Amino acid sequence: MLSVTAVIINYRTPDLTCQAVESFRSFYPDADLLLIDNGSADQSVQLLKRFETATPAHTRFIINSTNLHHGPAMDQAIRASKSELVFFLDSDCIVRGGGFLETMQHILSSQKENYAIGKRIFMNSRGFDIAESPAAIPYIRPYCLMIKRELYVTLPPFNKHGAPCLANMQMAWERRFALHHFPVDEYVEHKGRGTASRHGYHLGLRGKMNHLLNKFGL
């Protein structure tokens, strides 16, 4: 039996989010699902409310009055969940096959220090992809990510950033929590930048400065 809460966060892309939910439900009709609308101020709430109505025992819907941004909304979801594990699926994903939640859950639950699982890459301290090296930070892409909630709350929270899990996962790695690679792309199609391509990242001057400093190797 799954001890996982699945989370999908929407921000002004109800067409993509509906597709993500429908594809997820086609393989996991009884899984606990938490939907969050991140202050969309469009037709999102009306369109997404039907999923809660259809399966009220397995679907919760949180409606934020303002855009918390993706990382803080992920943190909100974790703190609103009661399950041992929390699984994040981006709104621009389509689930193509089942069985992956069970396997990911088994891996994380097998050892206490197992913290996160998904597509693992490596980043520098500014959140840009780099090759694996002793100085590189292991990072699980949050578009298809499962984490252990009891370990998460001992770490820095996910935040407003182009790589919202970076500080959290850097600290997890320093504390020797395990970040496992899993071939999520065999099960989930990720279109990529579904929300950002339409509405941007809203990282402001801080994001632009971070990009510039990284370009100059600082």
> What DSSP assignment string belongs to 87-118?
EEE-TTEEE--SSHHHHHHHHHHTSTTEEEEE
What was the pLDDT predicted at 2? 81
Mean pLDDT, to the nearest integer, of 130-146?
A: 96
pTM for the model stands at 0.88
pLDDT at 126: 85
pLDDT tens, 150-161?
999 999 999 998
Give the whole-number percent of the chain exceeding pLDDT 70.
88
All domains of the chain in start order, with CATH: 4-215 (3.90.550.10)
What is d(CA 104, CA 87) in angstroms, rounded to the nearest whole number? 9
Give pLDDT, residue 215. 57
Query: What is the band of 58 on the pLDDT scale with cuts at 50, 70, 90?
Result: very high
What value does the mean pLDDT take over residues 141-148? Answer: 98
Residue 63, pLDDT above cutoff 60: yes
Over residues 76-125, the pLDDT tens digits come to 999 999 999 999 999 999 999 999 999 999 999 999 999 999 999 999 98
pLDDT the model gives residue 161: 87
Average pLDDT value over all residues in the chain: 92
Environment class of 10 (CB within 10 Å of its CB; exposed 0-12, middle 13-18, buried 19+) = buried
Q: What's the CA angle centered on 8, arms 146 and 175, to 5 degrees?
A: 30
Identify the bridge partners of residue 36 per DSSP, sorted by sequence position.
Answer: 9, 62
What is the per-residue pLDDT for 134? Answer: 92
Residues 176-218 pLDDT 10s = 999 999 999 999 999 975 565 555 555 555 655 555 555 556 5
